Structure 1
Amino acid sequence: MIERLIARGCSAAIRILTGARAFWRGCIPSSERRVYYGNHASHGDFVLIWSSLPAALRREVRPVAAAEYWQRDALRRYLIHAVFNGVLIEREAAQRSRDPIECLCEAVDGGGSLILFPEGTRNTEEGVLPFKSGIYHLARNRPELEFVPVWIDNLKRVMPKGKWLPLPLLCTTTFGEPLRLGAGEDKQAFLERTRAALLALSPEQMEAAR
């Protein structure tokens, strides 16, 4: 019960701090199993996407996060496990005790949706880094999954890398059209298509498309 109250408090706090607004451009909220994937610039990214979802869906949506960061101290471990029910991935292959894709498949097989960031690391520059292959391997193992691009705008200015005090700026999350792995679609084609779908939601590309 206390964890649910903390989760609600975190959601309310980030909406207040960022003035977050969610725009559902290509789909509507759904209880279908989905993978929400976004651009990555801050440790607050998954909380913003999670907070942008209707309250009824949040309990079933699990963030995928770096074990190295979230296992550093007791508070982070408590938040990621007890409050957000995260799926922790060890980024260094030599340190892995389990296959990351196996962990993700287990999470969705349990009925949950995921939030992940295919760039694999926080990007301090403009644009989107090339996607890592994990999103493709998840799609290949679970081809029925919907992959929903989510563009996060302004959060890296609100919570710059290495800073803990947020700046008062407005943020938006824009949810695009769900994608699935196509029949016979190879890794490179899927990575390019999912990345292009995410970039298409950026304010610059949406303005150019008008």
Structure 2
Amino acid sequence: MWISRAGWSVLNMLQLIFTLAWTAGLIGVAFVVLLVTRQRRLPLRMAARCWVPGLLWGSGAKLVVRGVDRVDWTRPHVVVANHQSMMDICVLFRAIPVPLQFLLKQELSRLPLVGAYAKAMGMIFVERSSAREATKRMREAAQLVKAGATLCVFPEGTRSHDGEVLPFKSGAFQIALDSGADVVPVAIEGSGKVLSLGGLFRVRPGTITVTIGAPLRTVEIADRQLLAAQARESVVALKREAA
């Protein structure tokens, strides 16, 4: 479908307005549910079952999920995924069939409403400029996983501009080792084309594929550098599988 540059700008502005309104509305409902139930499970699942489908519809994106049955989701895990776009958080909420929490950079905690929601849902924020604070947050994350949570980390540390998987930083894998949880590699393909890094809010219709790999057992890989390397190799292989 051919649309002029001006047409895309108008459409993307309408999509941005819808995204902000939809997100604010669902966050408001999530806060009410959290207040009533005093539990995070239901509002976290609302993100997967209500918020994300609305965002996918608004962007014209289709989500394809593969490999869910490779993992025993009754156990806590540390999910590690490549990072192409802010859409990645949305699609992972939808793709992972259990309540999902994230290890996020500290800057996101300052976003209006979204930051408050993330804190209320138990997300862990890492101040990357302070090694001492980062270590403290990693320990908190390990305790969260020990308590039964499934935690998602983007070990590249930033979004890839060309879709290639960047080297994985090993620090996040200490969470898996300290908690005793297995690492689940996940490859995301297509999110960077749906929501591009270029421009204020550049959205294009497309297919996003999430491929979930077999868990890497931390009882068999006790070195975090080796664990990071093997996890990256798995994600790269899963991206090829999705191609």
| TM-score using structure 2 length | 0.72
Q: CA deviation at 1:119?
A: 0.6
Secondary structure class of the residue paired with 2:172: helix
Which of 82, 102, 113 aligns to 1:75? It is 113
Q: What SS class does the counterpart of residue 102 from structure 1 fall into? A: helix
Structure number, greater radius of gyration = 2
Is 1:146 aligned to residue 195 of structure 2? no
2:141 aligned with 1:104: yes
Counterparts of residues 22-101 of structure 1 (less than 5 Å):
22-24=65-67, 27-28=70-71, 30-54=73-97, 57-58=98-99, 61-68=100-107, 70-82=108-120, 84-93=121-130, 96=133, 99-101=136-138
**Per-residue deviation, 1:181:** 2.4
In structure 2, the residue matched to 1:159 is 195
Contact 2:168–2:228 under 8 Å retained in 1: yes
How many residue pairs end up in the alignment?
199
SS at match of 1:20: strand
Letter in 2 for 1:147: V
Give the aligned CA root-mean-square deviation in angstroms: 2.6
Report the Cα distance in structure 1 between the residues aligned to 2:196 and 2:242, rounded to whole angstroms: 24
How far is the alpha carbon of 1:29 from its aligned partner? 5.6
Task: Mark the CA change 1:35 to 1:170 in structure 2 (over 3 Å): closer, same or farther.
Answer: same
Partners of 1:175 and 1:32 lie apart in 2 by: 15
Alpha-carbon distance between aligned partners in 1 of 2:172 and 2:131, rounded to the nearest angstrom: 20
Identical counterparts, % of pairs: 25
Q: Name the SS of the counterpart of 2:104 in structure 1.
A: strand
Q: CA deviation at 1:171?
A: 0.6
Shift of 1:165: 4.5
The 2-side partners of 1:142 and 1:94 are apart by: 20
Q: Which amino acid aligns with 1:81?
A: K
Q: Is the 8 A contact 2:76 2:146 kept in 1?
A: no
Quick one: structure 1 residues 193 and 100, their matched pair in 2 at CA, closer, same or farther if it must change by over 3 Å? same
State whether structure 2 residue 170 is matched by structure 1 residue 133.
yes
Flag the structure with higher helix content: 2
Residues 184 and 174 of structure 1: CA distance in aligned 2, closer, same or farther (over 3 Å): closer
Which protein, 1 or 2, shows the higher relative CO under an 8 Å CA cutoff with sep ≥ 6? 1
Post-superposition, which runs of at least 4 consecutive aligned residues in structure 1 deviate over 4 A? 182-185
Distance verdict in 2 for CA 1:97–1:176, change over 3 Å: closer
**Cα distance change, pair 20–188 in 1 and its aligned pair in 2 (3 A):** same
Instruction: Tell me by how many angstroms 1:50 deviates.
Output: 1.3
Q: 1:98 to 1:193 in 2, by over 3 A?
A: closer
Q: What are the ranges of 5 or more consecutive residues in structure 2 without an aligned counterpart?
A: 1-27, 31-42
* DSSP 3-state at the match of 1:74: coil
CA distance in 2, matches of 1:74, 1:163: 17
